[in-house]
Chain A
Amino acid sequence: MALAPASDNASTSPVVSVEDLHVLFTTPDAVVHAVNGVSFALEAGSVLGILGESGSGKTVTLRALIRLLPAQRCRVEGRVTVAGHEITSLSETALRDVRGTKIAMIFQEPMVALDPVFTIGEQIAETIVRHEGAAHAAAWRRARDLLEMVQIPSATRRLKSFPHELSGGMRQRAMIALALSCRPAVLLADEPTTALDVTVQIQIIVLLRQLQRELGMAVVFVTHDVGVAVEVADRLAVMYAGRFVETGPTETVIERPAHPYTAALLTSTVLGAVSGHRLEAITGTPPDVSLLPMGCSFAPRCRFAVDACCAATPPEFVLEPGHSTRCHRVAAGEIQLTRPGLVERASA
């Protein structure tokens, strides 16, 4: 592959650093607290998976990292630093230079994210010309190399294809090529495999992991699918009602969950279930983020909740280096969470 790792990766300081991020949306009826104090740091070359259900704030967190949220209707508080640039205070002009070269994003629906009236080649070449001032012919050659890098067959011919002429998996590969065209240090991925069939999904996962290793990128991968998160992420952050309720290495979080929500998510899904027996479902529904309860947001659905849970929002308790939870009962050793017995997949 022709691409060298981005230069910012040389230092050991984190390439993404988020401190106490809050995002509020103001509507005529209510103020929606989408993100309520998210902090994390991500080293170059590592993959953070943000796992959460719809409305948990995972996509809003991701969009705040590249400042794609509508400025008129929402308020972003906290510090977001990406590859040495403070995203929250950049001017629009400076932001345009950072997007694409330092940080790029891929989306769930490539058909919506790609421009339908330009060919794949034109879209990639335009990006390279804009950011690197390359000559048109050189940019076009780079575009072909990029399509080969994402394993699109007959790349030269595909450069002249419009998005609607490609299959779903090929479109997703083209979008990855576009996002990587200017060697970003950080790639944001917003459920990029959710709309794909399972045999295509695994191809995209394997490709993303391979490119991430080869290019030394940091990746923030948002998904609602535990299986996908396990396949891609080095570290997991489980998100609920706008907060990271548990963070830790993927193995630790899956094998020894330390928050009742994580444990329930793992045991309530069909992954841990015996065929035909009732699931240990989480009761109730995810909270309305315009009317968050006092204290721990999960308390109304938690079978371990006591009065103290509703008194104050639990802080982050560090259980061991790199593994933390926002459950004071787990931190105090008062409750034992069931470890999920995951079904092994059929050997093929």
Chain B
Amino acid sequence: MPSKPISYFFAILLFAVLLLIESYLHPYFTSLFFINWLIIFIIFINFNFPFIFVFPLALISALFFDSLTFNYWGVNFGLFLLVIIFQKLLLKIFEKNSYLSWLIVGELLIIFYFLGLTLSYLILKQPIFYQNIFLSLVLNALIYWLILQIYNPKIYKKKLTL
């Protein structure tokens, strides 16, 4: 668990940057898929930061998605909330500082999020191309894996120092 307050500051800073990227840069790129940088970020910080810190960030992300996507509210809020709770539960099963558990937990959560999104679109009868959501799921999972490849040595070092 990060003890330095500076890590909280950097986490908030990175969150703000990702929020801006998500709102201004990505939508102009393509409409065939979307990369949810915020859920990837929240999964990452939920490994190290306390729930009380992750929850407001998840709430802001959900607020952002719920207000700008389709007309039904609370869908993203519910999904984000379930993701962070599900992650805490999964971490009780898996080892916390292992690369493999980070990978499995993260990928499971990304699959869970996109499946939830697909279901919500299906239940609420919102027009959507499910192929695009599936493509997004694959890409997000791939990006999470790539980031973990870069971030992996840091976990390893942390493990060594422990």
Please determine whether chains A and B interact with each other in the same assembly: no
